[in-house]
Amino acid sequence: MNWDKVNLMMVRLLIFLPIGMIAVSTASIFIKLCEAPSLIIATYRMIFASLLLLPMAGHQKIWRSWNRNELGWLVLSGFFLSLHFASWITSLKYTSVASSVVLVTTHPIFVGLGAWLFLKEPLGLQLFLGILLSILGSGLISYGDMTLSKEALIGDGLALIGAMTASGYFLVGRKMRRNQDLLSYIFPVYSTAGLALVLFSLLFQKPFFGYTTTTYLFMFLLALVPQLIGHTTFNWALRYLPASLVSITILGEPIGSTLLAYFILGEKLTLLKILGGISIFAGILIALKKKGGIQDHNDSVL
């Protein structure tokens, strides 16, 4: 193994993963500021993201690298992603940013189990401790924010569905990114998710037009920042890190989202949320110390 290349990749991961974490933290704020149905917000997020990638994908003619088996996995990943956004974005209409984001980021539990069952990736003691600390932190953040109202329970349930479908998205991504370059993976996945969400919107008779200019702007920013910068960064990292490790890194999202919700939406920042954030960061740092996680691959996109 080329250790100079591995060390360089470690530096790149330490730079790009925090950027991706900050980028995805903006998603819940943009969603809350959009005055449109949840399915429409999810649809525009993925359609805008796909259209922004289209010129690059067309220039590189990425479809030449797909075979029938790989295309099936790409469609499955996109379908998981569409279900994730449909359920999670809807959850934000019923419950607070903190509760929704905390619950949807429980996906490391499902990713870790799925990676162990299907990808034969060992959990490892450090990763296990990291998951425990991060889940504990998530619980502290949500403890003082959750209510027992009917609407909040619906939102909480939808956020958990979002966590489970996100785990499927990450596991398929880990499988495909081992031998596939970044653009050839994300373009069909994002496009599949967008098309699936268009069908969902038509099925539930949600109007695609007639919203304010501000709402369209926030939906575009949703595609640009948390999707193209945030999600794409994590999809890039899946080539070099186990799915469970990438997944737990995203647990920093509740911290960023909670802080942004405090300053922008006026949601209260309590002592429990601060302590929970510290616990999540501790879990991430412990998990990132896992030995042997980085793989020596080439990727020309980042």
Considering the domain boundaries, does residue 45 fall inside one? yes
Distance separating alpha carbons of residues 130 and 43, to the nearest angstrom: 34
pLDDT tens-digit profile, the chain (302 residues) = 555 565 666 777 778 888 888 899 999 999 999 999 999 999 999 999 999 999 998 887 777 767 777 888 999 999 999 999 999 999 998 888 877 887 887 777 777 667 777 767 776 777 778 778 877 877 776 666 565 566 777 888 898 899 889 888 888 887 777 777 888 888 999 999 999 999 999 999 999 999 999 999 999 999 999 999 998 888 888 777 776 677 677 777 877 887 888 888 887 767 776 787 788 778 767 765 654 444 444 443 33
CB atoms within 10 A of CB 128: 16
Q: What is the DSSP string of 70-111?
A: HHHHHHHHHHHHHHHHHHHHHHTTTS-HHHHHHHHTTHHHHH
First to last CA, the chain: 21
Considering the domain boundaries, does residue 200 fall inside one? yes
pTM score, two decimals? 0.81
Q: Which domain holds residue 234?
A: 14-288
Considering the domain boundaries, does residue 65 fall inside one? yes
Considering the domain boundaries, does residue 6 fall inside one? no
**Domain count within the chain:** 1
Considering the domain boundaries, does residue 198 fall inside one? yes
Q: Give residue 294's pLDDT.
A: 45
Considering the domain boundaries, does residue 297 fall inside one? no
Considering the domain boundaries, does residue 281 fall inside one? yes
Q: Give residue 147's pLDDT.
A: 54
Tell me which DSSP letter residue 209 carries: S
Considering the domain boundaries, does residue 300 fall inside one? no
CA-wise closest residue to 26 among 267, 289, 257: 257
Q: Give residue 244's pLDDT.
A: 66
